[in-house]
């Protein structure tokens, strides 16, 4: 059984309150650890999206080849220079963050997964969004589950879920909810199973179904925006499942807004983040708690 997920249902999952006289420290700090220079844009999309939904501070890992460009492209962020799988320079920023977003634009492989696991170990209690190349695989499930401890959101599409569970993609597409439930239990994480229909599943099997994602969201960088939106809501203090539910709805509504504006297929992922604060405000005005 699944619960239908849309904007009207978010009132049952309110955002944490923020003090009226608060500052950026009260809205949480996000550290995005993404790919190298050739995919640095993915980390940029995730970081901007986190800020757009209300996170207070942003740091982005970059290698030396992309650091200057990222610092100029996102002047709101502090750039942390580190090689792609070098954990040491990231330990202090990770331990002081509210949320880690790991994986946007990353290559897929054991070194990337080890980086994610080690950062989680070095930052106990810090919420995490794991995406793309950093997603765990079944052979590492026991170790990952022990470290995850219910603080993690995983955001695979069907191909990534196939790699996680050691199945073929068509098997995952035939039963995405079943795959999401298996992964959520196996990795002790909230799973966002992305697709035209997106499922959000908790480790205990509770599930939500979001229908109606517009075709234009199937474009490069769209998933990075979703990961950032979930991370930004986490930074504000929301539990993982609440952040996942809000992130999925905000992402889908941003795509719908662009489609209605006349770009059903041709919009770019970079256009999505600017829509997020307006949609967040509208949903809150319609009855969900704005925090």
The residue behind tokens 């929301």 is 238
Q: What is the pLDDT of residue 267?
A: 87
The residue behind tokens 């009855």 is 287
pTM of the prediction? 0.96
3-class secondary structure per residue, 64-91: CCCHHHHHHHCCCCEEEECCCCCCHHHH
Fold of the CATH domain 3-10+23-285: 3.40.1190
Q: How far is CA 291 from CA 31, 281, 284, 285, in A?
A: 22, 11, 9, 12
Q: 180, 162 in Cβ contact below 8 A?
A: no
pLDDT by residue, tens only, the chain of 291 residues: 899 999 999 999 999 877 677 777 789 999 999 988 889 999 999 999 999 999 999 999 999 988 999 999 999 999 999 998 899 999 999 999 999 999 999 999 999 999 999 999 999 999 999 999 999 999 999 999 999 989 999 999 999 999 999 999 999 999 999 999 999 999 999 999 999 999 999 999 999 999 977 888 988 999 999 999 999 999 999 999 999 999 999 999 999 999 988 777 778 999 999 999 999 999 987 755 544
What is the rounded CA–CA span in Å between residue 202 and residue 190? 5
Domain boundaries, the chain: 3-10+23-285
Phi, psi of 79 (to 5 degrees): -95, 130
Q: What is the pLDDT of residue 121?
A: 96
HSE toward the beta carbon, residue 65, CA cutoff 13 A: 9
Q: What is the pLDDT of residue 15?
A: 93
Q: Which residues contact 197 (CB under 8 A, 6 or more apart)?
A: 176, 209, 210, 211, 213
- Residues found in the chain: 291
**Dihedral sign computed on CA atoms, order 83, 103, 18, 95:** negative
């Amino acid at each position: 059984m699944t619960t239908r997920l849309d904007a009207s249902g978010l009132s049952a999952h309110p955002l944490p309150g923020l003090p009226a006289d608060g500052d950026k420290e009260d809205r949480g700090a996000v550290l995005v650890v993404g790919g190298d220079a050739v995919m640095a844009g993915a980390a940029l999309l995730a970081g901007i999206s986190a800020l757009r939904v209300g996170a207070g501070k942003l740091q982005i890992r970059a290698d030396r080849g992309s650091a200057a460009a990222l610092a100029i492209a996102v002047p709101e962020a502090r750039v942390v220079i580190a090689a792609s799988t070098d954990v040491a320079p990231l330990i202090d920023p990770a331990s002081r963050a509210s949320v880690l977003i790991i994986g946007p634009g990353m290559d897929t492989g054991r070194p990337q997964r080890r980086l994610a696991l080690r950062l989680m170990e070095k930052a106990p209690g810090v919420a995490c969004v794991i995406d793309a190349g950093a997603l765990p695989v079944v052979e590492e499930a026991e170790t990952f589950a022990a470290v995850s401890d219910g603080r993690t959101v995983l955001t695979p599409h069907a191909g990534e879920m196939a790699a996680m569970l050691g199945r073929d993609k068509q098997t995952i597409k035939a039963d995405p909810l079943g795959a999401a439930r298996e992964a959520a239990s196996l990795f002790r994480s909230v799973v966002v199973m992305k697709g035209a229909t997106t499922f959000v599943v908790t480790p205990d099997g509770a599930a939500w179904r979001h229908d109606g994602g517009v075709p234009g969201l199937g474009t490069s960088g769209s998933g990075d925006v979703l990961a950032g939106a979930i991370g930004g809501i986490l930074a504000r203090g929301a539990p993982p499942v609440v952040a996942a539910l809000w992130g999925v709805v905000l992402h889908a509504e941003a795509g719908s807004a662009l489609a209605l504006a006349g770009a059903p297929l041709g919009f770019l992922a970079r256009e999505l983040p600017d829509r997020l604060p307006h949609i967040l405000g509208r949903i809150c005005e319609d009855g969900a708690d704005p925090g």
